[in-house]
């Protein structure tokens, strides 16, 4: 195989702000959710934040990107299918992938009036994150942007759940799934409970192609199973053919595979910012899995990796931070 992990996801430049719940109410956002926005809707919010002098950090993000950056820093050979505009943010994004060691082959820039996607991330004192995403040109990533040779020659093909929100993005997902070989594991992130509830038919269509791995939090797990609570969702997943990893924040994570439930406790920390925790978990898990570790070991390593992100402001670690986390896996 040419790559360890290939992923399909939105290319978004993230700007993260520390705010209070009152600010979220003022701009009409529900806490701990993700909503889609236009550049025109972002403009007054950004102006208000600048006037407030809100603490912020900016980096090239996107859920799948964060997972790939983690895995690449550990040593996995990663490839990303994404789309940016030929603008300042787009150039910054591709440079960021290159620095992280994530390959990007195929269409990377195209003339368009649409900008590179952006995401405003609001972190409240309880460490929860609320997101407002402007997809920009990323919404038009389609089958023509895919390097099929790269994806088909990957050990894992990882699908960012947000791909269901755009018809063009979704056609890219199904195009790969229709052409991918049986030697490639198919992994899916559910991304957001509201997205799962709003696009259930598309998620079920992805599932019908024979998904091997699903990554989600407890709310997303309940939404995808269509049950009343997590306990019933777990019973549902015990009867499915795929493996599912369910993160529960400070309560650790649960892996369900072949009817068996594997629990891994959380690492005790003082949370600062939960943004990127799920991305870190998925990227860490896939890397450890491909290295031949047991599901228990994969979960323990991923819990530890996620805890390091939650202790910091921002969805990623420094190169030294990733190296320290990687050493934890080598010693396990």
pLDDT mean across residues, the chain: 93
Please indicate, yes or no, if residue 189 is contained in any of the structural domains.
Answer: yes
pLDDT of res. 109 = 53
Please indicate, yes or no, if residue 285 is contained in any of the structural domains.
Answer: yes
The CATH number linked to 213 is: 3.40.1190.20
Whether 329 has a pLDDT exceeding 60, the answer reads yes
Q: What percent of the chain has pLDDT over 90?
A: 80
Query: Structural domain of residue 92, as residue ranges?
Result: 3-10+63-114+138-331
Q: How do residues 250-280 score in pLDDT, each as one tens digit? A: 999 999 999 999 999 999 999 888 888 999 9
Please indicate, yes or no, if residue 327 is contained in any of the structural domains.
Answer: yes
Please indicate, yes or no, if residue 120 is contained in any of the structural domains.
Answer: no
pLDDT of res. 53 = 92
pLDDT of res. 123 = 92
Please indicate, yes or no, if residue 215 is contained in any of the structural domains.
Answer: yes
pLDDT band at 107 (very low <50, low <70, confident <90, very high): very low
> 3-state SS of the chain?
CCEEEEEECCCEEEEEEECCHHHHHHCCCCCCCEEECCHHHHHHHHHHHHHHCCCEEEEEECHHHHHHHHHHHHCCCEEEECCCCCCHHHHHHHHHHHHHCEECCCCCCCCCCCCCEEEEEEECCCCCEEEEEECHHHHHCCHHHCCHHHHHCEEEEEECHHHHHCHHHHHHHHHHHHHCCCCCEEEEECCCHHHHHHCHHHHHHHHCCCCCEEEEEHHHHHHHHCCCCHHHHHHHHCCCCCEEEEECHHHCEEEEECCEEEEECCCCCCCCCCCCHHHHHHHHHHHHHHCCCCHHHHHHHHHHHHHHHHCCCCCCCCHHHHHHHHHHHHHC
Please indicate, yes or no, if residue 31 is contained in any of the structural domains.
Answer: no
Query: Alpha-carbon distance 303 to 281, whole Å?
Result: 7
Please indicate, yes or no, if residue 17 is contained in any of the structural domains.
Answer: no
Q: What is the mean pLDDT of residues 174-200?
A: 95
pLDDT band at 40 (very low <50, low <70, confident <90, very high): very high
pTM, to two decimals: 0.92
Q: What is the mean pLDDT of residues 39-65?
A: 91
Higher pLDDT, 14 or 173: 173
Please indicate, yes or no, if residue 50 is contained in any of the structural domains.
Answer: no
Count up the domains in the chain and report the number. Answer: 1
């Amino acid at each position: 195989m040419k790559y360890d992990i290939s992923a399909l996801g939105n290319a978004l430049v993230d700007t993260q702000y520390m705010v209070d719940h009152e600010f979220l109410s003022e701009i009409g956002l529900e806490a701990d959710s993700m909503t889609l926005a236009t550049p025109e809707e972002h403009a007054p919010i950004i102006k208000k934040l600048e006037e407030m002098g809100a603490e912020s950090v900016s980096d090239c993000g996107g859920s799948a990107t964060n997972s790939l950056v983690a895995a690449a820093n550990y040593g996995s050979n990663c490839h990303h299918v994404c789309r940016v505009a030929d603008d300042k943010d787009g150039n910054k994004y591709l440079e960021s992938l290159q620095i992280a060691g994530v390959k990007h082959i195929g269409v990377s820039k195209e003339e368009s009036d649409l900008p590179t996607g952006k995401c405003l991330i609001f972190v409240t004192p309880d460490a929860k994150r609320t997101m407002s995403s402007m997809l920009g040109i990323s919404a038009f990533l389609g089958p023509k942007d895919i390097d099929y040779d790269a994806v088909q020659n990957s050990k894992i093909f990882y699908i960012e759940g947000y791909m269901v929100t755009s018809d063009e993005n979704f056609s890219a997902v199904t195009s790969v799934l229709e052409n991918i070989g049986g030697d490639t594991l198919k992994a899916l992130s559910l991304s957001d409970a509201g997205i799962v509830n709003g696009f259930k038919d598309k998620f079920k269509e992805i599932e019908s192609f024979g998904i091997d791995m699903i990554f989600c939090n407890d709310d997303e797990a309940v939404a995808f199973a269509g049950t009343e609570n997590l306990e019933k969702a777990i019973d549902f997943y015990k009867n499915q053919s795929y493996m599912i990893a369910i993160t529960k924040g400070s309560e650790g994570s649960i892996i369900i595979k072949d009817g068996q439930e594997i629990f891994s406790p959380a690492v005790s920390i003082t949370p600062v910012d939960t943004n990127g925790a799920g991305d870190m978990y998925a990227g860490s898990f896939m890397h450890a899995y491909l290295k031949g570790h047991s599901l228990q070991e994969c979960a323990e390593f991923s819990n530890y990796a996620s805890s390091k992100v939650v202790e910091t402001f921002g969805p990623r670690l420094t190169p030294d931070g990733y190296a320290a986390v990687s050493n934890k896996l080598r010693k396990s």
